[in-house]
Amino acid sequence: MTEPMLDIQNLSVVFGTGRLRVDAVKDVSFHVEPGASFGLVGESGSGKSTVLRAVCGLAPISGGRVMVNGQAVKSPRDKSFYRTAQMVFQDPYASLHPRHTVDRTLSEPLAIHGEKNAEARILEALREVGLGPSFRFRYPHQLSGGQRQRIAIARALILRPKILLLDEPTSALDASVQAEVLNLLDELRVRLGLTYVLVSHDLAVVAHLCDRLLVMRQGEAVEETTAAALRSGQAANEYTRALIQASQGFARDGVEPVLV
């Protein structure tokens, strides 16, 4: 068995103390093989995004162990960590600096890590995400939602990371744009040999992009299953079944879904 690219054991994340204490993630474990794609599914408040944020240092690791590429993560993360793992955020309108051109956004990581020939790297990054050089000097407000998300993906990939953390990368996009971005992500994973961890509330999106997935609810892992099992409608857990049911659209005479 190869060593996992991401190995999370008994992770818990706690915000605040005393009366304000919130246990955002409780004892969650999973691992992702190199080159695989793993999904985290759940509704708001399930802690799925917090897991990603804990991996990359935006949320504290209160308990458990996170190993990335065979090494336990250090707090604060060092520069080599950021060359291994990068993240794409949900809202393409919020994840790009409004006063920075695409060029500035893409050259920033190169400058931080002292990379040479920024010019060529930027043009290559744009090409990778299907945008031409004409986009290079645009401001975010001159881009559509889908184009912005492509820039965010280009920014995440420009340091050539091994693992990409995707936090609802398509939920703010129109359906047709979502399809384009999902195809792009699929293609990039194969071409660059990336490992994905995808967070989404949309079962269909997760099943499309990932082979294995973990269903989360209120900070806890509910069930780890495979996309194939979801497709055939098999789910051991009642909550997972409710999610599958709800993702099929509105059912007038359907089974009453589980209320939260």
Residues 93-132 that bind another protein (CB under 8 A): 94-101, 103, 108-109, 112-113
Instruction: Tell me how far apart the alpha carbons of residues 227 and 137 are, in angstroms, rounded to a whole number.
Output: 40
Could you say whether residue 157 binds another protein (CB under 8 A)?
Answer: no
Residues 129-148 that bind another protein (CB under 8 A): 134-135, 137-139, 142, 145
Q: Considering only 16-24, 64-72, 119-127, 173-181, which stretch makes contact with another protein by CB under 8 A?
A: 173-181
Could you say whether residue 237 binds another protein (CB under 8 A)?
Answer: no
Kindly tell me which residue out of 22, 72, 236, 258 binds another protein, with binding defined by CB under 8 A. Answer: 258
For another protein, the closer CB: 32 or 198: 198
Could you say whether residue 70 binds another protein (CB under 8 A)?
Answer: no
> DSSP E strands: which ranges in the chain?
6-15, 22-32, 37-41, 63-68, 71-72, 85-88, 163-167, 195-200, 212-217, 220-226
Cα-flanking dihedrals φ and ψ of residue 33, to 5°? Answer: -75, 155
- Tell me the closest approach of the beta carbon of residue 28 to another protein, in angstroms: 19
Instruction: Tell me how far apart the alpha carbons of residues 79 and 237 are, in angstroms, rounded to a whole number.
Output: 40
Could you say whether residue 180 binds another protein (CB under 8 A)?
Answer: yes
For another protein, the closer CB: 213 or 221: 213
Instruction: Tell me how far apart the alpha carbons of residues 117 and 30 are, in angstroms, rounded to a whole number.
Output: 38
Q: At 237, which helix (H) or strand (E)?
A: none
Instruction: Tell me how far apart the alpha carbons of residues 187 and 102 are, in angstroms, rounded to a whole number.
Output: 22
